A and B are shown apart, each in its own frame.
Chain A
Amino acid sequence: MKLKRLIGAVVFSIVLTGCILLTFRTLSWKDTGEDYVSSMEQLKNTPKNSIDVVFLGSSHVYCGVLPEVLWDEYGIASFDMAVSGADRYSSYYQLKYLLKKQNPKVVMVDIYGLITGKMEVEGNIYRNLMSMGMSKESADLIKMDADKEQFFDYFFKWPVVHSRYRELKKGDFVKNPVNSYMKGEELYWKSTPMYKEEGIDEVTACSELDEETVNWLKDMQELSAKENFRLIVMAIPMHFSEEDKMTSNAISAYCSENGISFLDFDAYASGIGLAFDEDYLDEYHLNSFGAAKLSSFMGKYMSVNMNLEDHRGEKKYADWDEDFAWYQKEKLFYSLENAKDMTEYFQILSNIDAATCVMILDGECEFDYSNYEEYFNTVGIEEWDALEGGTFVIKNNEAVRTSDNLYLEVDKVPFHIYYDKESEVFLADTYDFVFEGRQEFCNLLVIDETTGMTRSAKGFYLKNEE
């Protein structure tokens, strides 16, 4: 009887623990960036001892450095160990956390965390204090950055995340597939014209470094000696105020006095080829066009100054290939969104792998088939078929007429359409995307089969196309 009860208690405890863990997985704080794209999750999925170069910092790093470019051009296996709003302590302990499974040869740390103080944005505090797994590094960071009485809340995470039941999204139940191969970067294609403060490059004065910064640099240097990596401090291009520049100069001076390399990429901005009107996302960040230029420049610098292995073609590094393919595809999706006309749209679309397009042609509209003949012929839509209108699913350059239930009869009828990767069906009326189809239009919706997400929704007015 006693044994039976003991077994019962043990089984119950296991079932209860399983249920709690399952619930925690759903409620847990997942994003270190947006849409649950998590650099920590990506780090977890990166093969052990595969990273050669680590870029350490905050959004400046994940916006400004593209490991895909370094990989494509030089075969350098790099990783952006960057979390939004990371302050100096977050970066330090996140690096220590990374070093438990990786053995990088170079760590390049951005100075923005040294210019700003402690994290203030609530979301950033959560991102930094809760994205690491339960570990000594996590505990040390919480001790450093959070109030004493909140230690257990952040360490066990549950007391903070349990109230997330109010904000659960699809991504809380289904893992974001990009986290399995991305390398910490995030892509932003938007441009904001930027300017450089007049005479900012001529500022040579240094501000006095505070004790915390000096101690932090010392700790980093000690860590680099202990873990045997080369430490490089860098300034990623952004809008530097005079005060920022003076701090940057002071850090640069400290580094040169103490044998640490300092690379001021902001000062080299024109040499890198950064254009102020197209390569910046905002005042503080490069966009992905700018990031590609900076990364290419960094790659060149590394190939000359560091003895880093080219890992292209190695089996262990397959996810860097996957990451690069994803990056290429993202670029095409961006181009698709900016296509001038339907012809260009179809041209780009035909180059995108693993994407499905839903085309809804208005059957009441007599348009000139010859304008799009080339593409329609490629995908197998004949003239009579196109003029009759209806819904087509285009996959691998092959169009298949599908159910007419999405045929638009009323002008400006908003509808949702969604490609469910698991069941490979299109669903209407889901929450994640609103596509406003219109009459007399060729309505096009593109779904990325890798992520199952709607990536482009465009409408081309057929009659005006000629």
Chain B
Amino acid sequence: MLFNSIEFLLFFPIVVLLYYLIPKKAGKVWLLITSYFFYMCWNAAYAILILISTVVTYGAALLMNRTDSKSAKKGFLIGNLVINFGILFFFKYFEFFLMNISFFVKLFGGDAIKNPFSLLLPVGISFYTFQAVGYAIDVYRGDLKSEKNFVTYALFVSFFPQLVAGPVERAKNLLPQIKDMSFIRKASYNDVVSGLCDMVWGLFLKMVIADRIALFVDGVFANTYKLGTIETVLGAIAFAIQIYCDFGGYSAIAIGAAKVLGVELMKNFDTPYFAESIAEFWHRWHISLSTWFKDYVYIPLGGNRCSKAKKYRNLLITFLVSGLWHGASWTYVLWGGLHGLYQIVEDLLKNTFGNIRAALKINKDTFGYHLAAKIRTFLFVSFAWIFFRAESVSQAFLYIRRMITRFNPWVLYNESLFKFGLDRTETWILMIAIAVLLLVDIAQYKTKKTPGELLLKENVPFRWIAVIVLVLIVLVYGEYGINFDSGKFIYFDF
């Protein structure tokens, strides 16, 4: 069940209405049932995987809490990690693993190893596995007590707004809120209103911008071999916008939906394309995952409280793993590696750039300086997205080759850009929508508030008009229905 589907349009109001109508004590059970139903709409059988992950981490955490023996605790944690990551590996990476083994086997004259299993990737497996594993590590470290109530814990793992594509919640944030559900309804009138506004904004990002610009991106990436600089540069920038609106849109809907139910999920995006460095970008992009990697990979590796060489090693490992988390393909690994590399270079050149700035008497506190820094970061990030979007490493390199070897500015004037899935009308709609996004992002950047929270501060007539116009824009200009088959959110595959 997609957030932008008629099914969800029916499902969500029913869930919310009944949640507020039934006794508080039954609220958790109701949300647990509906969360499993939500997941089972994709593939009923795969709900068993969430259940296994839930039971294993629940049991391991209880056992860790009961014992004082450090080695026993470690044993429970390792056992838990092996089972959870084992499932993740089997369903997500096994084929990739065999493919690479086969490559080497073939190199030495052997036959390729065929995958005896034909498995669909369970939707959201990386998200709920990481969420559950994070909880277990917190309990192991003693940062958190194990949850005794199975329903509470099961809902923590499967809470439907964030089940299939995050935010990857921390137990410290989400578990207490779920526990409280039995006693209080936390959602205020303002929470419900701003949550609903955030959901509409998310649908606007996904359906009006992401799915529309995807038509152009798909056209460019499908025709890489015959394109030149302008199309490929625009294609890369377009994909940067697509993935932001796709995933940012999903997160806005998820956070908004949770808010309507009285649950405050962690922020996942904080105007990432306004970052002035790659390091800052990762403080603003997919925050729940990047902080997860920081807490459970980077810092355990030593973080930055060590030698520079080790720090860079830690950084690179973290980003390579993060790349692999996104997908079982070398393109993702390269994408992650590139981001790691960017940050290492950024750190290495920090002093040099500082000296150059001082020598040239460049004032950092100017609009122009900040704008240039933002554009530079955006371009580097967009370049890295090429690896993320490409079907293969070779396609990514071909794309880059076309980008730098075929300068063709005339395509800006001969209408050929309208042949990649978006004609003049659609391009205008897209441009206006992106302008709206830019305005809202500037407001978010300045105020640190979500669109829903921003609207709450406005007078009622403005708020009403804004919401009604937005709803109508989504309903009319959104990409959905017959003849349209994009549908899925990109991050569901991770």
A134 interface residue (CB < 8 Å to B): no
The answer to whether B482 and A150 have CB atoms under 8 Å apart is yes
Q: A154 CA to B480 CA in the complex, in Å? A: 13
A15 to B: closest C-beta gap in Å: 7
**Closest partner residue, chain A, to B477 (CB atom):** A165
Q: Which residues of B contact A16 (CB under 8 A)?
A: 467-468, 471
Q: Quick one: given A5-B189, A163-B483, are A23 and B464 in contact (CB under 8 Å)?
A: no
The answer to whether A158 and B475 have CB atoms under 8 Å apart is yes
The answer to whether A23 and B482 have CB atoms under 8 Å apart is no
The answer to whether A19 and B468 have CB atoms under 8 Å apart is yes
B45 interface residue (CB < 8 Å to A): no
The answer to whether B476 and A159 have CB atoms under 8 Å apart is no
Q: Which residues of A contact B477 (CB under 8 A)?
A: 162, 165
The answer to whether B472 and A23 have CB atoms under 8 Å apart is yes
Q: A153 CA to B485 CA in the complex, in Å? A: 13
**Closest partner residue, chain B, to A156 (CB atom):** B6
**Closest partner residue, chain B, to A12 (CB atom):** B464
Q: A117 CA to B478 CA in the complex, in Å? A: 34
A11 to B: closest C-beta gap in Å: 9
Q: A19 CA to B472 CA in the complex, in Å? A: 8
Which residues of chain B from 476 to 492 have any CB-CB distance to chain A below 8 Å in the complex? 476-478, 480-484
The answer to whether B6 and A152 have CB atoms under 8 Å apart is yes
A8 interface residue (CB < 8 Å to B): yes
A167 to B: closest C-beta gap in Å: 10
The answer to whether A153 and B476 have CB atoms under 8 Å apart is no
**Count the A residues whose beta carbon is within 8 Å of the partner chain — how many?**
21
Q: Which residues of B contact A20 (CB under 8 A)?
A: 471-472, 475
Quick one: which of A20, A27, A153, A159 has the most chain B CB within 10 A? A159
**Closest partner residue, chain A, to B10 (CB atom):** A152
Q: Which residues of B contact A165 (CB under 8 A)?
A: 476-477
B425 interface residue (CB < 8 Å to A): yes
Q: A250 CA to B483 CA in the complex, in Å? A: 39
Q: Which residues of A contact B483 (CB under 8 A)?
A: 163
A406 interface residue (CB < 8 Å to B): no
A400 interface residue (CB < 8 Å to B): no
> Which residue of A5, A23, A152, A154 contacts B475 across the interface (Cβ within 8 Å)?
A23
Which residues of chain A from 132 to 167 have any CB-CB distance to chain B below 8 Å in the complex? 150, 152-154, 156, 158-160, 162-163, 165-166
Tally A-B pairs: CB < 8 A: 46
Which residues of chain B from 1 to 34 have any CB-CB distance to chain A below 8 Å in the complex? 6-7
**Closest partner residue, chain A, to B483 (CB atom):** A163
Q: A163 CA to B467 CA in the complex, in Å? A: 20
Q: A15 CA to B483 CA in the complex, in Å? A: 30
The answer to whether B460 and A8 have CB atoms under 8 Å apart is yes
**Closest partner residue, chain B, to A154 (CB atom):** B482
Q: A12 CA to B461 CA in the complex, in Å? A: 10
Q: Which residues of A contact B7 (CB under 8 A)?
A: 152
Query: 0/1 per residue, B126-168, Cβ < 8 Å to A?
Result: 0000000000000000000000000000000000000000000
The answer to whether A159 and B425 have CB atoms under 8 Å apart is no
A107 to B: closest C-beta gap in Å: 32
> Which residue of A5, A19, A160 contacts B481 across the interface (Cβ within 8 Å)?
A160
The answer to whether A15 and B481 have CB atoms under 8 Å apart is no
Q: A23 CA to B460 CA in the complex, in Å? A: 22
Query: 0/1 per residue, B260-271, Cβ < 8 Å to A?
Result: 000000000000
The answer to whether A15 and B6 have CB atoms under 8 Å apart is no
Q: A165 CA to B474 CA in the complex, in Å? A: 13
**Closest partner residue, chain A, to B426 (CB atom):** A166
A69 to B: closest C-beta gap in Å: 39
The answer to whether B189 and A15 have CB atoms under 8 Å apart is no
Q: A162 CA to B189 CA in the complex, in Å? A: 32
A8 to B: closest C-beta gap in Å: 7
Quick one: which of B6, B460, B478, B481 has the most chain A CB within 10 A? B481
**Closest partner residue, chain A, to B478 (CB atom):** A162
The answer to whether A159 and B6 have CB atoms under 8 Å apart is yes
Quick one: which of A153, A156, A162 has the most chain B CB within 10 A? A162
Query: 0/1 per residue, A199-214, Cβ < 8 Å to B?
Result: 0000000000000000
Q: A264 CA to B477 CA in the complex, in Å? A: 50
The answer to whether B471 and A159 have CB atoms under 8 Å apart is no
Q: Which residues of B contact A5 (CB under 8 A)?
A: 189
Q: Which residues of A contact B482 (CB under 8 A)?
A: 150, 153-154, 159-160
Q: Which residues of B contact A23 (CB under 8 A)?
A: 472, 475-476
The answer to whether B464 and A159 have CB atoms under 8 Å apart is no
Q: A19 CA to B464 CA in the complex, in Å? A: 12
The answer to whether A162 and B464 have CB atoms under 8 Å apart is no
A367 to B: closest C-beta gap in Å: 47
B245 to A: closest C-beta gap in Å: 19
Q: Which residues of A contact B476 (CB under 8 A)?
A: 23, 27, 162, 165
**Closest partner residue, chain A, to B479 (CB atom):** A163
Q: A160 CA to B476 CA in the complex, in Å? A: 10
Q: Which residues of B contact A163 (CB under 8 A)?
A: 481, 483-484
Q: Which residues of A contact B6 (CB under 8 A)?
A: 152, 156, 159
> Which residue of A8, A15, A153, A160 contacts B468 across the interface (Cβ within 8 Å)?
A15
Q: Which residues of B contact A152 (CB under 8 A)?
A: 6-7
Q: A168 CA to B484 CA in the complex, in Å? A: 19
Q: Which residues of B contact A160 (CB under 8 A)?
A: 481-482
Q: A163 CA to B477 CA in the complex, in Å? A: 7
Q: Which residues of A contact B189 (CB under 8 A)?
A: 5
Q: Which residues of B contact A154 (CB under 8 A)?
A: 482
Which residues of chain B from 421 to 468 have any CB-CB distance to chain A below 8 Å in the complex? 425, 460, 464, 467-468
A435 to B: closest C-beta gap in Å: 28
Q: A19 CA to B473 CA in the complex, in Å? A: 12
**Closest partner residue, chain B, to A22 (CB atom):** B472
**Closest partner residue, chain B, to A11 (CB atom):** B464
Q: Which residues of A contact B471 (CB under 8 A)?
A: 16, 19-20
Q: A153 CA to B471 CA in the complex, in Å? A: 18
Q: Which residues of A contact B484 (CB under 8 A)?
A: 163
Q: A27 CA to B7 CA in the complex, in Å? A: 22
Q: A166 CA to B476 CA in the complex, in Å? A: 10
Q: Which residues of B contact A19 (CB under 8 A)?
A: 468, 471-472
Q: Which residues of A contact B475 (CB under 8 A)?
A: 20, 23, 158, 162
The answer to whether B472 and A15 have CB atoms under 8 Å apart is no
Q: A166 CA to B471 CA in the complex, in Å? A: 19
Q: A158 CA to B7 CA in the complex, in Å? A: 14
Which residues of chain A from 400 to 454 have any CB-CB distance to chain B below 8 Å in the complex? none
B197 to A: closest C-beta gap in Å: 12
Q: A16 CA to B197 CA in the complex, in Å? A: 13
Subset of 28 A-B contacts with CB under 8 Å: A8-B460, A12-B467, A15-B464, A15-B468, A16-B467, A16-B468, A19-B468, A19-B471, A20-B471, A20-B472, A20-B475, A23-B472, A23-B476, A150-B482, A152-B6, A153-B482, A154-B482, A156-B6, A158-B475, A159-B6, A159-B482, A160-B481, A162-B475, A162-B477, A162-B481, A163-B484, A165-B477, A166-B425
Known: A152-B7, A158-B481, A163-B483. 4 other contacts (CB 8 A): A16-B471, A153-B481, A153-B482, A163-B481
| Residue positions of B touching A, CB distance < 8 A | 6-7, 189, 425, 460, 464, 467-468, 471-472, 475-478, 480-484
Shortest beta-carbon contacts, A-B, top 3: A159-B481, A152-B6, A153-B482
